[in-house]
Chain A
Amino acid sequence: MVVDELDLSDYSPTTTATTTTTEDDHGCNWNGWSPVVDWDMLSGDHDDFHDLIESMMDDKTMLHHHHPARVLNVHDGCNSAVSPGTVMMMDEEVTNNGGGGQDFKGLRLVHLLMAAAESLTGMNKSRDLARVILVRLKELVSPTDGTNMERLAAYFTEALLGLLEGAGGVHGKHMLNNGPCHRDDHHQTDVLAAFQLLQDMSPYVKFGHFTANQAILEAVGHDRRVHIVDYDIMEGIQWASLMQALVSRKDGPPAPHLRITALSRGGSGRRSIATVQETGRRLVAFAASIGQPFSFHQCRLDSDETFRPTTLKLVRGEALVMNCMLHLPHFSTYRAPDSVASYLSGAKTLNPRLVCLVEEEVGPTMDGGFVGRFMDSLHHYSALYDSLEAGFPMQGRARALVERVFLGPRITGSLARIYRARGDEESCSWGDWLGAVGFHPISITFANHCQAKLLLGLFNDGYRVEELATNKLVLGWKSRRLLSASVWTSPNSEL
């Protein structure tokens, strides 16, 4: 830990470092702010930045040891040639020189973000202060330039500004669904491109699909008819690979008839990456091309996105699977938690053979309230950013696209959700919820686990997979858990 060379509680000038007494020393005792920096804590490796945040979160009192004021490498700031009578505590140049400077700036940004979050909801709530801090942050960062931390801070700043402006009003809810960052506002080509990039450069998309698909394959081994209900089908890419797996089963039964019902969102003509119909057409064509018996259906959600199980067409004897992908790049998590709730509780009444759930892992609920969850969110996304950098090392623009199209809106949504919850409720994952309402876990097989490891092996070795519970695999980047894939069954389903 950083040793305190300057301990203000003593108030004795002798603890400050010696000051020179030349003519030019304008002696405001700035030299007393010890330049002692524990550089081990501030590793030069940008990728490890989230470790720093993590260590800050572990013990809030430690925060004060990492406080930028303590690690100021301050020189004498009283320079009469520059600005007579104006004393500057931190010279801007100091913060921007080289590697040490970058980490320092990152630290500063984190502190500013935390201060902004605190002033939005803390005991000394002050929107005026929050606004001023956010304005300052905006001056320091840009969503397209700079380090991971700087770009991330830019998105967080935007998200907080959105909370500040929209909070508490009808406006707020509107912003949530139709704000400028909304997915549908992006050009379809952008979204497509970003999705492709995300898939190719990171295991996020495939991890969820492969784990779910493997569990499905194992669960419907001998069934003649399989019916999959997909909450958010997007491009349907998960099913293309499932179908391929079904068709290429050796020494097994012939491929079952596969029926997929995709939930579609009605209402105000929102485009998706591809419309559900287009996805359906594509899947039908693909199935035909590989000889997989297949039919595709749509099921409309209500205008408020509530799922009504009765609107589903079921067929006797089919094995029912409910698929629920909530992670990147899906948007549903924040958009309509009630909708997800209606889907999963609807699932209960349908007694499915399998429920596959992939969602974001959040940190443990701390007493930190909004600020605690905010910091956790910052930690989460900084890990995400670091991992993407590992996958896109030379391609800043590609990353920027993914960040703009997917991450930015997710950040906004996450923060809005945290803000609304305001730390009152326990943060509960959907997995916990499923367990609580009576679904039974289904073990993830050794084969499934190995497959996941293999998958990650294709990417950066910063990724790792853990088996957090018998039915839950978690994908993480370094020390941060990011995604979890879990498998469940209805207690009343026929096995």
Chain B
Amino acid sequence: MERTFFTPKEARYPNNQSNGHYQLEMQSTNQPQSSHTSTSRSSDSGEPCGDGKWASKLLRECARAITEKDSAKIHHLLWMLNELASPYGDCDQKLASYFLQALFCKATESGQRCFKTLTSVAEKSHSFDSARKLILKFQEVSPWTTFGHVASNGAILEALEGESKLHIIDISDTLCTQWPTLLEALATRNDETPHLKLTVVVTASIVRSVMKEISQRMEKFARLMGVPFEFNVISGLNSLGELTKEALGVLEDEAIAVNCIGALRKIEVEERGDVVRMLRSLHPRVVTVVEEEADFSSFKNDFVKCFEECLRFYTLYFEMLEESFVPTSNERLMLERECSRSMVRVLACEDEKGHDGDCERRERGSQWSERLKEAFSPVGFSDDCVDDVKALLKRYRTGWSHVLTQGDDSSGIYLTWKDEAVVWASAWKP
């Protein structure tokens, strides 16, 4: 499936972005979001396409009613959603439940408080063990995160080939689950095992608390692998916009690789350009970027459109979770709750300066590419790397595939689930 064309859904594609460089057109049909049937759904889905699933219909109507300030309708729809929703039901019921929360917050302008509450509740119930268990379980049943890891590691290893002093700056919340494989690869190279300095920049408050344990484990693992290793954590930032070259402790003789997994979306939209420039100033050999394929930024001022995109993306995500996990999985529940926080954040928290918590405004691969091209040029993934990705996907249930993009000077691989692009991985050099 290399060298195929594909495009994200035309209806929601931000036409104002010049995507002239990336003529992406998907071969398979792009159906409206309601076409994804869930295997566990008991109600019959033999509906004419125009009908759509009940939850998405009600939710969209509610979003519209909120924009129109139709108080009676808002009440009615929120009430109906509340009657029919459940965070423990089928996909529709779950989506209804979490989106209901976001819509309620939007309607009552209580998004900030709600988000704070949800976050603090989640923090209280997280521990190193639970966080680790969650990530590992997710990686076991779905390539959603491991895809990015494999692609990035491949690009990093190739870019840092032959170097003896490596400094990887990891801006992610993956609890370092990406690095053991890389350490192993470094250890088993034919030539001298290089020295690796790993600087992890952590944003999510939930993750901060567990980094101590992580650092201990990483150091232990590196010792086992026989890789000279140094580990730093930067966790005091309120936002990634505050990141500076100095704070990162970059040294002259190091070969730098910057690894951004789900990191760029955490930056406030206005600051993204600056951060890209800051990264450029580090003179890295390679920058790997992995982001979820959704656009929550373009329609900041159009609530209904933004809502539709959220609905599309999270419907996909929830359905993917449903098909990947066993029905009674606790991890799945936790992941869904994570989404609920993002939903509230994107939909019900007006972007003001100075509030805490990360931004969650995702952009599509093509949009990130536009930004990154200001300071970098793309690096294609080697055949070996793509082979690694293919091998990875084979380990999971059917439905997963990948697509390489083609364009003038583009690179990047999309992870697709049921022919929908869901995660984008790319590599860049100055």
Contacts and interface: CB of A to CB of B under 8 A. Distances in A.
Contact of A28 (B69, B79, B97, B117): B117
B79 A67 contact: yes
Contact of A84 (B45, B74, B121): B121
A27 B58 contact: no
Contact of A64 (B52, B54, B75, B341): B75
Interface residues of B, number: 45
B107 to A, nearest CB: 6
Contacts of A136: 83-84
Interface string A6-18: 0111011100100
B246 interface: no
Interface in B38-87: 43, 45, 47, 51-54, 57-58, 61, 69, 71-72, 74-76, 78-80, 82-84, 87
A111 interface: yes
Contacts of A78: 117
Contacts of B116: 27
Contacts of B107: 8, 11
A64 B51 CA distance: 26
A128 B124 CA distance: 39
B114 A28 contact: yes
A86 B404 CA distance: 39
Contact of B82 (A89, A126, A132): A89
Contact of A87 (B54, B72, B78, B101): B101
A84 B76 CA distance: 26
Interface in B100-119: 100-101, 104-105, 107-110, 113-114, 116-118
Contacts of B87: 83, 86
B92 interface: yes
Contact of B79 (A9, A69, A83, A127): A69
Given A8-B71, A85-B118, A87-B114, A115 B80 contact: yes
A481 interface: no
B118 A32 contact: no
Interface in A116-172: 119, 124, 126-129, 131-133, 135-136
Given A11-B109, A84-B337, A126-B54, A27 B114 contact: yes
Contact of A70 (B75, B110, B117): B75
A129 B54 contact: yes
Contacts of B406: none
A112 interface: yes
Contacts of B71: 7-9
Contacts of A64: 72, 75-76
Say what secondary structure dominates the interface of chain A. Answer: loop
Contacts of A27: 110, 113-114, 116-117
Contact of B51 (A26, A112, A127): A127
Nearest to A7: B71
B125 A84 contact: yes
Given A26-B117, A85-B121, A8 B337 contact: no
Say what secondary structure dominates the interface of chain B. Answer: helix
B122 interface: yes
A289 B228 CA distance: 116
A310 B108 CA distance: 72
B203 interface: no
Nearest to B61: A124
A131 B84 CA distance: 11
B69 A85 contact: no
Contacts of B92: 132
B340 interface: yes
Interface residues of A, number: 42
Nearest to A25: B117
B110 A11 contact: no
A9 B100 CA distance: 18
B190 to A, nearest CB: 49
Given A28-B113, A64-B76, A126-B54, A84 B122 contact: yes
A90 B97 CA distance: 12
Interface in B314-351: 337, 340-341
Contact of B84 (A9, A12, A132): A132
Nearest to B75: A69
Nearest to A28: B114
Contacts of A83: 87
Contacts of A119: 54
A29 B108 contact: yes
A375 B61 CA distance: 24
Interface string A201-230: 000000000000000000000000000000
A29 B113 CA distance: 8
A2 to B, nearest CB: 12
A216 B117 CA distance: 76
A84 to B, nearest CB: 4
Contacts of A363: none
B33 to A, nearest CB: 14
B75 A67 contact: yes
A80 interface: yes
Contacts of A111: 79
B318 to A, nearest CB: 15
Contacts of A124: 57, 61
Given A32-B108, A85-B337, 7 more contacts: A8-B71, A27-B113, A29-B108, A29-B110, A69-B82, A80-B121, A126-B51
Q: Report, nearest first, the 3 A-B pairs whose CB atoms are least far apart.
A: A129-B54, A29-B110, A69-B79
16 contacts: A8-B75, A13-B108, A28-B104, A28-B105, A67-B72, A67-B79, A69-B78, A84-B122, A86-B337, A89-B104, A90-B82, A119-B54, A124-B61, A126-B54, A127-B51, A129-B58
